[in-house]
Amino acid sequence: MKYRRYIYLALATVAMLMAGIMYNFTVFTEAIASDFGVEASTVSLVFSLSQVCFFLGGLVLGFIYKKFKPQVLGAIAAVLMTLGLYLSSHTTAIWQLLLTYSILMNFAAGCTYKGVLAAVVPWFSDNLGVATGVMMMGAGLTAFVFNVPVSNLIMATNWRFAMMILSLVSLVLTLIPAVVIQTKPEVPASRKNETKAAGNQDGEYTTAQMLKTSQFYLFFIWTVMLLAGCTSVTGNSVGLSRSIGLETAKAAVVSTVISVSNAISRIVYGRIYDKKGRKMAMGITTLFFVTGVCAMHLALALRSVAILIIAFVAIGFSFGGVPTIASTFVLRTFGRKNYASNFGVQGSYSLFSPLFGTTTFSLLYKMTGNYQKSYLQILRYAAISVAMYLLLNKTMAGKEKTR
């Protein structure tokens, strides 16, 4: 079927919407804390472990992807996600929730995330960036799509019933794509628009070879710095808005600006990468990050809502650029053959960014009690990200081509 790849892309985007469901967990926090009789900070451990398990799921999937049929792996992951959510709705203690939601559900979600990318990306060698951006947009819209209806369902019933309904939705949104999406047959293909990193003439890298290149580490540090800064702002966007005088309801509305610009930017960056190349896409992302960080400090100093909105838009656009650029960069720089495992390893930035982002910010805020002083740290992240971008450009000069 001539247009089947677009059907695969649409189904993959739906599956990605569900793969990012851990970002919807925030709406359950207060209800679970009240039900279990614990502090909300204790429940937040569920989210922290979820991030780790999500990465581990993607990493494991990468190394076993070629040993089993992708449809089988996808179906197993879909069932495990559903089972994890369903069992979570019957838990009575935090340790049980850590097992069912953080470990079981999010490990499977990580498998779904990386599996969908590995299966669909090869179908779009001519529009790789755009296709990746569309799928990443699905993951970026998770909270935007699910937060309000799930929150309303919790208020109308209880968190357990809402989690159970979510498990059924998960089964439909992940199992159908897993069964329908077919992998592209392996055929010799020209890679005119892809990068050949130094030391490997055919452009195909094993994970071990990739880890020996300077390009990997420069790009990796760039992703960690940007995501650390973006997540530290995103996770406290409501508090930031309230600190300059907005009421809680208005602050919540303003904070959604980040989510919307994050989602939209993923397609934009995909298009830029396809047409103008890696250097331009990374450059614009870095520029948005630096602009957002500076605008946020100016907004806090002047207590300006307008400037804060500008900052949130810029932060959202830099946030959305990282996953889209990362998935495309890994394939074009290190090849298609070992893409699943290479991208699985590169995805470990999701472990480091919370450490340097929300965790570091929380410690600084406890010490200072001041948002602006606490966020001085991400000015350093902005400087490092610029340095990594410039160094990567230097090491890759003459080794990459654009359309």
State yes or no: pLDDT of 264 exceeds 80. Answer: yes
The burial class, CB within 10 Å (0-12 / 13-18 / 19+), for 63 is middle
Q: Which of 39-43, 222-226, 374-378 has the lowest mean pLDDT?
A: 39-43
Give the pLDDT band (50/70/90) at residue 187. Answer: low
Identify whether the C-beta of residue 160 lies closer than 8 Å to the C-beta of residue 86.
Answer: no
Residue keyed to tokens 């020209």? 190
What's the pLDDT score for residue 402?
47
What's the pLDDT score for residue 185?
75
State yes or no: pLDDT of 348 exceeds 90. Answer: no
Give the pLDDT band (50/70/90) at residue 41. Answer: low
Q: Which of 27, 395, 336 is nearest to 197 (CA)?
A: 395
What's the pLDDT score for residue 224?
92
Q: Where are the alpha helices (DSSP H) in 20-69?
A: 29-36, 40-64
What's the pLDDT score for residue 234?
77
State yes or no: pLDDT of 196 exceeds 70. Answer: no
pLDDT above 90: percentage of residues in the chain: 39
CA distance 258 to 315: 7
What's the pLDDT score for residue 357?
77
Domains along the chain with CATH numbers: 4-180 (1.20.1250.20), 207-395 (1.20.1250.20)
Q: Which of 184-193, 246-255, 311-320, 367-376 has the lowest mean pLDDT?
A: 184-193
For the residues 124-137, what does the mean pLDDT come to? 81
What's the pLDDT score for residue 91?
94
Better pLDDT: 242 or 97:
97
pLDDT in tens, 276-285: 889 999 999 9
Give the pLDDT band (50/70/90) at residue 102. Answer: very high
Give the pLDDT band (50/70/90) at residue 28. Answer: confident
CA distance 245 to 302: 11
Identify the sign of the CA torsion 342, 346, 350, 351. positive
Q: What secondary structure letter does DSSP report for 336? A: S
Identify the sign of the CA torsion 73, 141, 378, 233. negative
CA distance 182 to 7: 11
Better pLDDT: 330 or 24:
330
For the residues 249-254, what does the mean pLDDT come to? 74
The burial class, CB within 10 Å (0-12 / 13-18 / 19+), for 95 is exposed
Q: Which of 255, 382, 373 is nearest to 313 (CA)?
A: 255
What's the pLDDT score for residue 192?
43
Q: What secondary structure letter does DSSP report for 91? A: -
**In this structure, what token pair is assigned to residue 45?**
């451990």
What's the pLDDT score for residue 200?
58
**In this structure, what token pair is assigned to residue 58?**
């993607």
State yes or no: pLDDT of 156 exceeds 80. Answer: yes
CA distance 318 to 289: 5
State yes or no: pLDDT of 129 exceeds 90. Answer: no
Q: Looking at this protein, which amino acid is placed at residue 373?
A: K
For the residues 217-233, what does the mean pLDDT come to? 90
The burial class, CB within 10 Å (0-12 / 13-18 / 19+), for 294 is middle
Could you tell me what percentage of the chain is helix, strand and coil, using 3-state DSSP and rounding each to the nearest 5?
80, 0, 20
What's the pLDDT score for residue 403?
43
CA distance 216 to 308: 34
What's the pLDDT score for residue 217?
94
What's the pLDDT score for residue 400?
65
State yes or no: pLDDT of 197 exceeds 80. Answer: no
What's the pLDDT score for residue 194?
46
State yes or no: pLDDT of 65 exceeds 50. Answer: yes
What's the pLDDT score for residue 7?
92
Give the pLDDT band (50/70/90) at residue 104. Answer: very high
Q: What is the mean pLDDT of the chain?
A: 85
For the residues 129-133, what does the mean pLDDT come to? 82
What's the pLDDT score for residue 285?
95
Give the pLDDT band (50/70/90) at residue 265. Answer: confident
**In this structure, what token pair is assigned to residue 344?**
């699985």
Give the count of beta carbons closer than 10 Å to the beta carbon of residue 381: 25
Structural element, H or E, at residue 335: none
CA distance 231 to 143: 14
Direct distance between the N- and C-terminal alpha carbons of the chain, in angstroms, rounded to an integer: 27
